[in-house]
Amino acid sequence: MIRRLAPLAALMLSGCLYATNNGIEARQGMSLNVPALLNLEVLSLSTTHKTMFDHLATWVTGRDCSSPRAEREGVYCIDFPGPPPPPQQEYCYASLGRPTCYVQAYNEGNDRLLGFVPASPPVR
């Protein structure tokens, strides 16, 4: 939850302070700091390829939203990719050089099973 609120807090606080010759000072009135917002927009677009509104839309919808992708592909929001499938179990047998591993058990002749690499448990 805090990770989602950090960009919003940075956006809200960007208009509260401004730099002068004497250092950083608090702004007396509630006015919009356009250069700070534009700097955040450019920083967001160059590092994540999303605008600040895209980050807000991603947070609200729970899908991956991006304006540059919408211009390229015509789709604004897509589902996040799922986790990759877990690796399969491998059975390793002694051979002349290094062990040879197979996905299925190989029971031919007098092959000696060195061991097996179990499949990893599913990630939740």
Task: Supply φ then ψ for residue 117, to 5 degrees.
Answer: -100, 110
Whole-prediction pTM: 0.47
Question: pLDDT value at position 28?
Answer: 60
Q: Would you say the C-alpha torsion 92, 95, 99, 103 has a positive or negative sign?
A: negative
pLDDT tens figures, 58-67: 999 999 999 9
Cα angle for residues 46, 15, 21 (degrees, 5° grid): 95
Domain locations in the chain as residue ranges: 2-78, 83-119
Report yes or no: 99 and 93 within 8 Å, Cβ to Cβ: yes
Most confident of 6-10, 35-39, 44-48: 44-48
pLDDT tens figures, 18-29: 566 676 666 565
Instruction: For residue 93, name the pLDDT band (cuts at 50, 70, 90).
Output: confident
